[in-house]
Amino acid sequence: MNQHHIEVTVSVDNFKSNISHIRDRVQPAQLCVVMKANAYGHGLQQLAPTAVVAGAEYIGICTNPEATVIRELGLDVKLLRLRMGLPEELQESIDSLNIEEQVGTIEVAKYLSEAGVKRGKKIPVHINIDTGMGRSGFFFNQTEELKQVCGLPGINIVGVMTHFASSDGKDLGFTHYQIEQFEKARQVLKNYVSHNVLTHTHNSAATVRISNESNQLVRVGAACYGVRTSQDFENPPELKPVMSVKTRVAQVRKVPKGKTIGYGSLFTTQRDSLIASLPVGFGEGYPRSLFNKGIVLIKGHRCPVVGRVSLNITTVDITDIPEPVEWGDEVVLVGTQGKEEITFEELADKFASVHTEINLMAGFMNQVSYV
């Protein structure tokens, strides 16, 4: 049965076009399209074939169920796990999923090597270098540990990688510092790994903003979906948003001056007002923290969210819309209407988050239409 109160739409054409643009931008480097967390809420099963058709040599995942989706689709693409694996995950991957794993500790490297020796086939791994992200990986000066990893018999080192902590910020100074640290690690490793090992540092923001001359692979997530993780830089105009979210007006009420609205009475009308109730709330993925902060589009006008966002109801002030607003009228939560646009980035900035949080909630909590 179809939902009538919310419409989440994913443009497969925009997704394909975005990847094709990035593919052309980074050649001859290979492209890893990051599709973890159900393709950031956009639908892994629905979009993975498009990613491969558009030119992805790798798909980035985090979990074994995500890898299983790709394998069951029968796609000719390599899989890269974008975090450290747990023992049970690694064993399952070795047995049936053929995921290229990250190695950031001697313990994990030895575990994979022993498994590779037992099965008589080396396991492909990427050495993770911590250049400043601070979450995982070897430091570049752990020379003996890195040499030890390179000498293990049951693994095949196919990549050396790092992850940038602030390549989407105004100041790229720390990113350039990370690049310098990564180059030091490459110098340590150059005599112990194959000359054709894939080096990769660039995420979406770095791919858009910084030359990629020294890398053989880029890992791009946000840009493939037409969004960015910060408003401190601009994506090229060729990158189009992939997801839009719409609802409809459930009720319009005349509310006198001085009345409070919503749980906690967090908004008081300062004038006689027209208030529209929308049949969505944080139960549909519209963030609760957008109370008195959010913006929606109705009849091409920007209308503020007023009062607390409830589980399934959000209220907005439509007093300043010159034309009548009626029961059932379209409301854009994210997307375009007339000459106005609301982006995931704009909403995320209003509650100090990132687009991914809203993408995920909208995609996970609702039916999604693919066009």
Mean per-residue pLDDT pooled into runs of 10, the chain (371 residues): 89 97 94 96 96 97 97 96 94 92 96 95 96 91 92 96 94 94 90 89 94 91 92 91 96 97 96 97 92 96 98 97 96 96 89 78 81 94
Surface-to-core class of residue 184, CB atoms within 10 Å of its CB (0-12 exposed, 13-18 middle, 19+ buried): middle
What are the b/e assignments for 122-148, b being 16+ CB within 10 Å?
A: bbbbbbbbbbbeeeebbebebeeebee
The pLDDT of residue 141 is 87
The pLDDT of residue 121 is 92
For residue 40, indicate whether it is catalytic. Answer: no
Give the residue among 18, 25, 73 at the shortest CA–CA distance from 48: 73
The pLDDT of residue 48 is 98
| Tokens standing for residue 369 | 């239409």
Task: Write out pLDDT tens, residues 71-87.
Answer: 999 998 999 999 999 99
The pLDDT of residue 147 is 92
Q: Which of 36, 78, 246, 299 is catalytic?
A: 36
Surface-to-core class of residue 190, CB atoms within 10 Å of its CB (0-12 exposed, 13-18 middle, 19+ buried): exposed
SS3 state of residue 16: helix
The pLDDT of residue 356 is 78
Measure CA 218 to chain center: 15
What pairing do the DSSP bridges indicate for beta strands 273-278 and 251-255?
antiparallel
Give the residue among 326, 306, 324, 308 at the shortest CA–CA distance from 316: 306
The pLDDT of residue 42 is 95
The pLDDT of residue 183 is 92
Q: Which of 184, 192, 263, 370 is catalytic?
A: 263
Surface-to-core class of residue 152, CB atoms within 10 Å of its CB (0-12 exposed, 13-18 middle, 19+ buried): buried
Q: Write the CA distances from 68 to 74, 92, 104, 169, integer angstroms.
A: 10, 10, 24, 35
For residue 58, indicate whether it is catalytic. Answer: no
The pLDDT of residue 366 is 80
Task: Give this prediction's pTM.
Answer: 0.92
Give, as one character, the DSSP assignment of residue 268.
E
| Tokens standing for residue 49 | 């074939």
